[in-house]
Structure formats: C-alpha cells, structure tokens
A and B are shown apart, each in its own frame.
Chain A
C-alpha cells in the first residue's frame, strides 16, 4: 500500500479512471475504426459500439492496480493506439 494520504490516492485513481479511461477508450476506438476492414461509415459504428467495455475495464483497472501510478497505465496505452488510429493525420503533421 502507498504512503500518500488516502484522499490523494482516491483523487488520483478517480482521475485515472475518468480521464485515463476516456483517453484509452477514445484511442482504442480510433484504432479499431482504422483497422476494421469495413466501409468507413460501418467501421465507425462497429468500432464505437464496444467502447464502453474498454472504458469500464479502464475504470476497474484504475482501482485494482497495485499503486496509484500504475492506475494511469491506460493513458500510456492510449498513445500507441491513437497513433494507429490517426496515422494519416500524424503523417500529414510530420510532413
């Protein structure tokens, strides 16, 4: 268990759940939308339908993780996922 005060732990984990969870779900959805072999209109729907499962998992993770820092792991995972989802925009930005 961590040495930081309880209220800070709760605040950190709640933020990780809310914000980290959002980032993770958003990125996972974008990644899925990009990768699914469907027409763009259909891909958007099929990628977004499971998004709340990702979000719920991230929330559970935020409170189950061993310490408050690890709770933010979904935010870290969101970065490469977003890269996959937005790679055309990323390439444009680099060019």
Chain B
C-alpha cells in the first residue's frame, strides 16, 4: 500500500481506525454498560422491590401463583431472586425473552411493572447494533475483526513500545493525545486483545462454519449431538396422567450444593406424572459460561434424572474464552474491574479518533483548503458518535423514568428516545463550532448522569450503585468538558528540519 511495511500498517491503522472507530466506540460503550445490565434493569424498572427473600420461599410462592393461574400449561418458568436481580418472575411457554409476570417475592402477588428495554438494551445493542439479530451479529463480527487488525497494526507501528511504556507528556497538544492513546492502549493491551478475540469466539461457528461444513457436512444438529448434548427422552404418555408434584425446596438445596447459586428453574409438564424440574445455576460460578446447563429432576419423585456433565478440554476451552468475554464470574469486585477496563478502552478509542483531527487540524481547518469538507465530516462524526452516543445512553435511562408508565409500546418509545437523541447530537455537531459542540454535549451528558440521583430509590443497594457510578462518571465528563472549554492550543516548537513523529 505504501513504501514500507510500517507505513502500510500505519495507513491501515489510521483509516480503519477512523472509519470503523465510530461504531467500535458504540460497541465498546454499550458493552461496558452491559457489564451492569441486570443492575440497570433493576434501576429502570422502579416498581420491582428489593427486599431479601430466600429462594426456597420465593420458589414456593411462584409455584403457588402458577398453580392458581396456569395449572394446565405445558411448561412453567421461574426466575428466582438473585444477588444482581432481586425480582421474581414467572412465565409459561419458552423462556427466551420478555413475557411472563413479575411477582412480589415477599407475597407472591403479581405486581405491575413498567415495560422497559432495561439494561438489556445495551447488551443487545452491543452485539447487534440494534439490527435484526443475524445481520447485526455479522456486522459486529466484522467490526470486531477490524478492531483486532487495528490492535495488531497499532502494536506493529509503535516502534518505541517498550521505551515509551510509561510515557505520558501532558499539555503538549498532539504529542499528548498520541501519548495518551499509546498509554491506554499498551498498558491495557491484555484486556483489549482478550476482549476482542473472545468476542469473536462467541459466534465463531456462525462466522466461519468451515469445521462443521467439512466434518459434519454442514449439519449443525449432528455437530451438537457429537458434543454430547443429547436431550433427555421426553415422557410422552406420562404427561397425560395427573400427579402430585414433589416439594421443590429440597431439590433447590441439592442443586445449590452441586452448582453454586441458582438462577431459576423450569417445570415441564407440571401436575402430571411426566413432570420434570430443570434447575439452572447462576452464570458466573466459574469462568466457563454455563449457559444451557441444568440439573433435571423427576417432578413427582424428586429423583435426579440428569446431572451436569464435565466438559471435555476443547469445549471447555471455548466456554472459558466465551466466559472471559461475558464477565459473569468473580463477583462484584471482578465486575468492577471489567467495567473500569471497559471505560478505559472506550477512552482509548475516542482518543484515537480525536487524535486524527488534532493531527490534521492545522492543515485542514481553514474552509478554503481542499479536503476541508472531509475533515469537517470527521470532526462532526467524532462529536456525534462519541459525545452524542454518551448522551443517548444516559438519555435512555432518563426516558425509562420519564415516559408515562401506561404508554402503549413503551419499549419502542424508549428506543426511539435513544436514537432520537443520538441523531440530534449529530445534527447539533454539524451546526455548532467544534469546540463548543464538544463542550455542550459532554456537559449535557455530565448533567444528565449526575441528575440520575434525583430519581431516588436509593435505599436499594443496586439502585444506589447505579446512581453513584453515574455520579462519578458525570463528574468526570464534566471535568473533561470544562477542560475542553478552557484548554489553550499548545504552542508548537518548530525546529528547522525536524520531522513530525510517527503515523501516516
């Protein structure tokens, strides 16, 4: 592409970083927020109580409710109160998403909870960009691959990677931006590489189904069976005979002893001789992602029919890699480590985007210069996709509280608020002078973050955590906005014959 290998890699890093960096920033921000998706769910649905109730008691109340309202259903689902998700939810039919009734775990009565996309929106946006699921997965996968290429090219072109390991020289304009971009990238390189690669591994068989195509003639079901995921025989005839079910509490205790904290359970064919109780562990009792694992008990006798099996080395490796990305393990301290690393990675990407414009500002800022329009476009996109996205994210939280509870299609309106704010931010960036645009948007986002405490509900540890974290982030954003407003452009010392450093 260019004359030398390093120059080509620098060109690739710069342009791939710029063009795809805007969306990558969105992926990293929503991914970071998704670390606390359940806490955000809880914050956004203010009606859910957070009084501590034992899982056994909650389970019994849930079953009592289902007996009273849906005794004939083919499948009962119960999501039990957990450390991160204090609500109790029951459903019939397939578990996937939404549906179901929220119960008060203390009384077993149904409670009316506002419809909200919750923190789950950030989780879904993170791997689909809110596109239809299969398209979104591919688009995000392609972006993740670009991120990987950007990381590797970044390493390759950073010739002084060891010499400048601890180097940061502030107040020197472009030099400082590059120093910061390098420092945040290199010091957190294990995290960046890990999170990017493991993200790709999650859907790796969807992206590159070559293995299944070659060895299983593309038959996914045959592949899954080869993994030992044979389904238990369904008791056809027995599900017609009515029968009394065993108490679920001792089974929960048995499962907890084996699996660790429990997330919930399903009862297939309830109130029949073919009843089966499947108990699921909370994700995060180990690094390897335990999605899909369950202990299955006979619903009438309480006998263990199917235990969770140990994975072999290869599937275990994959699940550990996926688990490293999902970050469900290690309790709250680990979760906070992932969150802070995520925030830094977002700032790292943003600093690269800003560096692009800072570097070319002198050359292209004047309106008559050819290429000015493209420069201006990059500048506008920087503000709109960085500050604007942050505004949209905190705006979603505000919308979840401000929109009328009874509003029809409430969830769709919340999503509209998110994208509407984002679009407004891009337009605002287009018409305001660049520095003012940054200050106004970052400042607004800061105020909205700090303002979350006004919504109260702070007796509850989870909601207090959300508000406190937002407060800290808001203050930091405010400081950045303040700094942008009052920063003096750095005076460049131009010595005769001295070349400007590194990069395309």
Contact = CB atoms under 8 A, between A and B. Distances in A.
A76 interface: no
Nearest to B12: A63
Contacts, number: 104
| From A45, A49, A60, A86, residue with most partner B Cβ within 10 Å | A45
A41 B8 contact: no
Interface stretch (B77-85, B202-210, B367-375, B453-461): B202-210
Interface string A60-86: 100110000000000000000000011
B211 A55 contact: no
Given A41-B227, A59-B145, A51 B314 contact: no
Interface stretch (B178-186, B213-221, B238-246): B213-221
B1 A40 contact: no
B210 A60 contact: no
A30 B210 contact: yes
A89 B215 CA distance: 10
B413 interface: no
B168 interface: no
A44 B1 contact: no
Interface string A4-25: 0000010001000010001001
Contacts of A45: 211, 314-315, 317-318
Interface residues of B, number: 40
Contact of B208 (A26, A42, A59, A60): A26
A34 B214 contact: yes
Nearest to A41: B226
A48 B208 contact: yes
A26 B210 CA distance: 5
A30 B315 CA distance: 18
A64 B9 CA distance: 7
A70 B159 CA distance: 26
16 contacts: A9-B1, A13-B1, A29-B211, A33-B210, A33-B215, A34-B214, A40-B226, A42-B315, A44-B211, A45-B317, A46-B314, A49-B321, A52-B201, A63-B1, A63-B9, A86-B213
Interface of B: 1, 3, 5, 8-9, 11-12, 142, 145, 148-149, 152-153, 156, 197, 200-201, 204-205, 207-208, 210-217, 223, 226-228, 312-315, 317-318, 321
Name the 10 nearest CB pairs between A and B, nearest first. Answer: A44-B211, A41-B226, A42-B314, A29-B210, A30-B214, A30-B210, A33-B211, A45-B314, A26-B210, A40-B215
